[in-house]
């Protein structure tokens, strides 16, 4: 019996699992197609907030998978919603890619309170205006610089709330890991002396959104999941976010060795994943 047969649904991480940079992990697309055509429920989850869910869905569709945007949950969309909630009628300074700023703007698609409409206040503040922000949202991006660090630090000294998409230190890329959100967040936390609320994995917010997308959040399904009649596995390449988060959410966990974690690192870790496999394709062997 293949490992995949033990589960009805999967939360599948993207970077280091489905692809590394732009390169698909060998056999991953075929494995996903087999899982989905075999009737397994699949939701893709990523701490990478650089792109919209629709962009990831498009990339998966181009690779030959039937992936809908509603089936892609990113730390970006979850963080955008939480940042807008935290800001209330206030404003947000975003350290992150243009797509993340758009997600924050879109998260405010609910009607604005009248006072805010009247004042015509911007939600996402740019440049020096960010010093006045009520919320600072941090995410790694290639344009990160001292100016952004300075503006965030000054806003945080004025007691802005601090949110971040993750603490992932790196992003697996062909040719070596790149600095991730955790590296940028360390600079912001060091300068401000503050500790961020994390919106992505391993915290519960992203898992709640992902399980909802999987159809496991109705009362009946939740009960069924507790009784293990709906069996869901989190499949990811990073122990500190995917495996720890999956375990906290009460899910089975599968660590794949195609991304951030080597077999030696997995062996040394105090956290024990439920299963350790080479890659996604190994789920079906």
Could you list the residues that contact Mg ion (CB under 5 A)? Answer: 13, 15-16, 237
Least distance from C-beta 246 to Mg ion, angstroms? 12
Pairing of strands 23-24, 41-46: unpaired
Least distance from C-beta 196 to Mg ion, angstroms? 20
With CA atoms as reference, report the closest residue to 97 among 187, 30, 180, 8. 180
Least distance from C-beta 27 to Mg ion, angstroms? 17
Rounded CA-CA distance 45/237 in Å is 12
Pick the closer one to Mg ion by CB: 130 or 202.
202
Least distance from C-beta 18 to Mg ion, angstroms? 9
Pick the closer one to Mg ion by CB: 8 or 15.
15
Pick the closer one to Mg ion by CB: 166 or 192.
166
Least distance from C-beta 130 to Mg ion, angstroms? 29
Pick the closer one to Mg ion by CB: 16 or 273.
16
Rounded CA-CA distance 174/151 in Å is 33
Pick the closer one to Mg ion by CB: 203 or 237.
237
- Is the separation of the CB atoms in 274 and 254 below 8 Å? yes
Cβ neighbours of residue 61 under 8 Å, at least 6 residues apart? 67
- Is the separation of the CB atoms in 71 and 60 below 8 Å? no
Least distance from C-beta 168 to Mg ion, angstroms? 8
Pick the closer one to Mg ion by CB: 11 or 161.
11
With CA atoms as reference, report the closest residue to 205 among 171, 163, 177. 163
Q: Across-strand partners of 72?
A: 44
Burial of residue 176, with CB atoms counted within 10 A of its CB: 0-12 exposed, 13-18 middle, 19 or more buried: exposed
Dihedral of CA 211/214/218/219: which sign? negative
Residue at shortest CB range from Mg ion: 16
């Amino acid at each position: 019996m293949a490992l995949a047969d033990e589960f009805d649904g999967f939360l599948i991480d993207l970077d280091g699992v489905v692809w590394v940079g732009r390169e698909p992990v060998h056999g991953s697309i075929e494995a996903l197609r087999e899982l989905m055509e075999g009737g397994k429920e699949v939701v893709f989850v990523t701490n990478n907030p650089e792109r919209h869910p629709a962009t990831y869905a498009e990339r998966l569709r181009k690779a030959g998978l039937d992936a809908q945007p509603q089936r892609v949950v990113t730390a970006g969309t979850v963080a955008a919603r939480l940042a807008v909630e935290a800001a209330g009628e206030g404003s947000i300074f975003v350290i992150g890619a243009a797509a993340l700023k758009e997600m924050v703007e879109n998260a405010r698609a609910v009607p604005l309170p009248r006072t805010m409409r009247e004042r015509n206040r911007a939600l996402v503040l740019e440049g020096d205006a960010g010093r006045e922000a009520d919320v600072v949202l941090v995410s790694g991006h290639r344009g990160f610089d001292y100016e952004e660090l300075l503006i965030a630090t000054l806003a945080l000294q004025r007691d802005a709330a601090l949110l971040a998409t993750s603490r992932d230190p790196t992003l697996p890329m062909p040719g070596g890991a790149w600095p991730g959100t955790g590296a940028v967040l360390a600079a912001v936390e060091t300068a401000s002396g503050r500790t961020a609320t994390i919106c992505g994995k391993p915290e519960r917010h992203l898992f709640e959104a992902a399980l909802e997308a999987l159809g496991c959040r109705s009362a009946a399904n939740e009960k069924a999941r507790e009784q293990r009649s709906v069996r869901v596995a989190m499949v990811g390449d990073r122990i500190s976010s995917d495996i720890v988060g999956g375990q906290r959410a009460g899910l089975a966990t599968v660590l794949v060795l195609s991304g951030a974690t080597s077999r030696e690192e997995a062996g040394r870790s105090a956290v024990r994943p439920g299963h350790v496999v080479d890659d996604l394709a190994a789920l079906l062997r």
